[in-house]
Amino acid sequence: MKSADKQFAVIGLGRFGLSVCKELQQAGAEVLAVDLDEERVRVAASFVSQALVANCTNEETVAELRLSDYDMVMVSIGADVNASILSTLVVKEAGAKNVWVKANDKFHSKILHKIGADHVILPERDMGIRVARKMLDKRVLEFQELGSDLAMTEIVVGSQLMGKTLGDLALCKEQDVQVLGFKRGPEINKTPDYQKRLEIGDLIIIVGPRDTLAKKLSSL
């Protein structure tokens, strides 16, 4: 099923909820955005399929939203923990299948799991983990300028690149970026096998025009 065929509901339109709505809608999904606050609903209405003012702690109101028809429901209410917990409970009891909830802390998260949340997000913790993984994956040493706009740098393979091949990374003459050497363990191989699967800790030494290298690295 493509994201365009999927239906999502997002309850609570703070910064987090609104950015979830935006991303889902841009991916072509159908999005229902819900909040108590008319102004926030008005903001969401400018880019989502449907936006409604509703109090999601109220069983009758939630029943009218027919959330069991949606593929996923996100409850992103942060400041008011009671409203977050109660809305999650009401949404689950209304038959929503796959309910993701944003939590403020571990204790909030524990309660959400207990009342049946299918997935709990701790944004700061999850983002910290993602950023650290990205940093590890792109543990790139400083560019060494070689003159005439050429530069050299190194990529340390982390979890995101693990299992791919040099061929997958499209580091080749045609792309203007070339592999100068490949290091696994103590040995540097100047003619690496482009089909060999990368392992965590492998070092890829690459050379190319500075801007192309920077673009290439940010796309890996």
Chain contacts with ligand ATP (rule: CB under 6 A): 11-17, 34-37, 40, 55-57, 76-80, 83, 87
Which is closer to ligand ATP, CB of 40 or CB of 216?
40
Is the four-CA dihedral 84, 25, 218, 220 of positive or negative sign?
positive
Shortest distance (Å) from residue 133 CB to ligand ATP? 22
Sole residue written with tokens 């592999």: 179
Which is closer to ligand ATP, CB of 5 or CB of 124?
124
Residue nearest to ligand ATP (CB): 78
Which is closer to ligand ATP, CB of 3 or CB of 55?
55
How many other C-beta atoms lie within 10 A of the C-beta of residue 52? Answer: 16
Shortest distance (Å) from residue 177 CB to ligand ATP? 39
H-helix or E-strand containing 124?
Answer: helix 123-137
All residues at 6 or more sequence positions from 16 whose CB lies less than 8 Å from its CB, including other chains: 76, 78, 102, 123
Which is closer to ligand ATP, CB of 59 or CB of 176?
59
Shortest distance (Å) from residue 90 CB to ligand ATP? 9
